[in-house]
Amino acid sequence: MFSSSTRGRHRAALLALAALLTVAAPIAEARPGGGGSFGSRGSRTYTAPSATPTAPGGGMSMQRSQTAPSPGMNSPGMANPGMQAGGRRGGFMGGLLGAGLLGALLGAGFFGGMGGIASMLGLLLQVGLVIGLVMLVMRLFRRRSESAAPSYARTGPAGPGAGMGGPMGGSPMGGPAMNAAPPRQPQMRQVQIGPNDFQAFERLLGDIQDAFSREDRVSLGNLTTPEMIGYFDEQLRDNASRGVINRITDVKLLQGDLAEAWGEDRTDYATVAMRYALKDVMVERGSGRVVGTNDPEATELWTFQRQPGRGWVLSAIQQTNR
């Protein structure tokens, strides 16, 4: 059996591991968008993007949008994006770790009947199993965050379905919904995407990451739709409240291809799958000390929109189905 001093060191190591995993969870996926799926894609907002060689599993359904779903559309609801789900992920992990670590510290161990921590080998085995289990839970939670996220109150302009059921006038014999005109369907058309457009998409990828890293809201507003700058601003304010800055450098597109391109009335849309490398760290605001390191590579589907006489701007980010 271990001496009391050895057991004390084991307890300290387990507590340090628990703190590290619990704190690290919300830091992951800290780049613009925070690993969530949000924004607007016109009439295709609640239709998952098509699969491409870069994103063979296609895209995830939209979690948060200011575009109202059409009547009868089975949308996931206006849910908060993954950047806010990260807090729930961390809490779930904390509960899972707490249950196992508490048992270990009390001598019961993660498996109870095995007599607690009997050896250093047993300790390492248990810690390894916990880490593996936590990683599995995080992955499953991320895939199912759409249904688990809380409802989001829409702000800003609504889509074609807005106003249904509101005061529309009409005959006193019928209710407002009976007299409401059906939403107008946009005029759909084909859009050709050429080399200049792809260059613009790649440039926007880097410029948006750079502006987000510098917390330059003016530049972000020029590069994105008003809806997207609103989401980015929420993320930046959350970082500020925690005393950290998300530093992103060396963004490089590794692979990209077109998933969809179409036009609705006077607006062009293009959804592009992009796999890119980046250096993504969290630093303390005062000292600049690195407090978290994120994945050096990401694959996402970015949707850009263009109005007549204007350039492309970012209108949505969606994660891929893995």
Give Cα separations from 2 to 5, 62, 110, 125, 241 (angstroms).
8, 53, 18, 17, 43
Give Cα separations from 256 to 56, 248, 271 (angstroms).
12, 20, 11
Cα gap 129→233, rounded to integer Å: 38
Is the predicted pLDDT of residue 252 greater than 90, yes or no? Answer: yes
Cβ atoms of 247 and 285 closer than 8 Å: no
Higher pLDDT, 241 or 169: 241
Tell me: the pLDDT tens digits for 185-230? 899 999 999 999 999 999 999 999 999 999 999 999 999 999 999 9
CATH topology of domain 4-153+186-319: Nuclear Transport Factor 2; Chain: A, (3.10.450)
Task: Give the pLDDT score at 181.
Answer: 61
Task: Give the pLDDT score at 65.
Answer: 97
Q: Please state the rounded mean pLDDT for residues 17-41.
A: 66
Is the predicted pLDDT of residue 119 greater than 90, yes or no? Answer: no
CA 86, chain centre distance (Å): 9
Task: Give the pLDDT score at 229.
Answer: 97
Task: Give the pLDDT score at 131.
Answer: 76
Average pLDDT, the chain: 75
Q: Which of 24-38, 83-97, 249-263 has the highest mean pLDDT?
A: 249-263
Q: Could you tell me the residue ranges of all domains in the chain? A: 4-153+186-319
Tell me: the pLDDT tens digits for 264-301? 999 999 999 999 999 999 999 999 999 999 999 999 99
Per-residue pLDDT band for 140 (boundaries 50, 70, 90) equals low
Residue 13: count of CB within 10 angstroms of its CB: 12
Per-residue pLDDT band for 77 (boundaries 50, 70, 90) equals very low
Per-residue pLDDT band for 142 (boundaries 50, 70, 90) equals low
Q: Please state the rounded mean pLDDT for residues 301-320.
A: 97
Give Cα separations from 288 to 189, 197, 244, 283 (angstroms).
49, 37, 9, 5
Cβ atoms of 273 and 259 closer than 8 Å: yes
Alpha-carbon Rg of the chain, whole angstroms?
24
Q: Name the pTM for this structure.
A: 0.62
Per-residue pLDDT band for 159 (boundaries 50, 70, 90) equals very low
Instruction: Kindly state the DSSP code that residue 79 receives in the 8-state scheme.
Output: B
